Amino acid sequence: MSKEPTQSAGRADILAAALREFADHGFTGATTAGIARRAGVTQPLVHHHFGSKQGLWLAVLSQFHQDLNEALSHTIQEAEEEGVDRRTRLSRLLRTLVAFLGRHPELSRLLRTESNASGAPFEELHTRWISGQVELFQRELAAAVEDGTLRPVDPRLTYPLLIGACIQPFAEPGTVQRAFGLDMHHPANVELYADFVVDVLLRGLGGPPEPPRAPRTRRR
C-alpha cells in the first residue's frame, strides 16, 4: 500500500526517493511528481525544499559525495593512525567503497545511466563527485606502485577495472539474483563480495595474497 502524501516527511526522505527516481529514469526522465510519489509527499513540498528537479539533482550529488568522502577519509585516517602497510590500506579503501555502494545500490545504476547519456547532468556528476574519487584512487595506486606493493600498471585502465568490479553486482542485482541466487542487498553478501574484490584485484595487480579467513561454522 502506498503512503498518503504528507507534509511531515523530511528532506532525507525526499533525497532518498530522488536517488531512486534518478537511478531508474536518469535525470532527463525523472520528474518531481514521480519523486513526490516515491517519498509519499506532495509535489509542492518537493519544490519547497529543493526548488526544482535541478536543485534536487545537485542536492543528491552533494549528499552522497559528502557521505562517501567522509567514509573514505575516515578509512585513510585510521590506516595512517595505525601505520598499516600499503596493501592493507588499499584493501580497506576497496572494502569501504564496496560497502558504501552495497548500502546505496541506486548509485551504481545512476552512474551507468548518466555516463551513457553524457550531457550536462553527467558533467555535474563528474565534476562534483567522480573526479574527486578518481584523483583519490589514482594517488593511492601511484603510491602502491612506487613502494612496490603493486606492479607498474596503467592508471587509465586500472581505475575502470576497480570501479567496474565494485559497482557491477549492485548495478545489476537482478542478474546476480536470477543467475546465482545471491541477494546483493543482504549485508553478508556485500561483505563476502568485498572480500572477493580485494583478493582478486590486489593479487592480480601484483600484491601477495591475503591469508584465507577461517570458515564460519554453525553452532549446534
Quote the pLDDT of residue 214. 54
pLDDT confidence tier of residue 54, bands split at 50, 70 and 90:
very high
Distance CA 43, CA 51 (A): 11
List the domains of the chain with CATH numbers.
1-51 (1.10.10.60), 60-204 (1.10.357.10)
The half-sphere exposure of 39 on its side-chain side, counting CA atoms within 13 A, is 29
Higher-pLDDT residue of 118, 67: 67
Helices (DSSP H) in the chain: which residue ranges? 11-29, 32-39, 43-50, 53-82, 86-103, 105-117, 119-125, 131-146, 155-171, 173-180, 187-204
Cell reading at 166: 565494485
Quote the pLDDT of residue 213. 53
User: Of 76-90, 143-157, 177-191, which gets the smallest average pLDDT?
Assistant: 143-157
User: Of 9-13, 86-90, 125-129, 163-167, which gets the smallest average pLDDT?
Assistant: 9-13
pLDDT confidence tier of residue 11, bands split at 50, 70 and 90:
confident
pLDDT confidence tier of residue 180, bands split at 50, 70 and 90:
very high
Higher-pLDDT residue of 9, 117: 117
Q: Average pLDDT, whole number, for the chain?
A: 86
**pTM over the 0.85 mark:** no
Quote the pLDDT of residue 216. 47
User: Of 166-170, 181-185, 216-220, which gets the smallest average pLDDT?
Assistant: 216-220
pLDDT confidence tier of residue 17, bands split at 50, 70 and 90:
very high
Q: What is the mean pLDDT of residues 191-197?
A: 94
**59-80 residue pLDDT tens:** 998 888 889 999 999 999 999 9
pLDDT confidence tier of residue 37, bands split at 50, 70 and 90:
very high
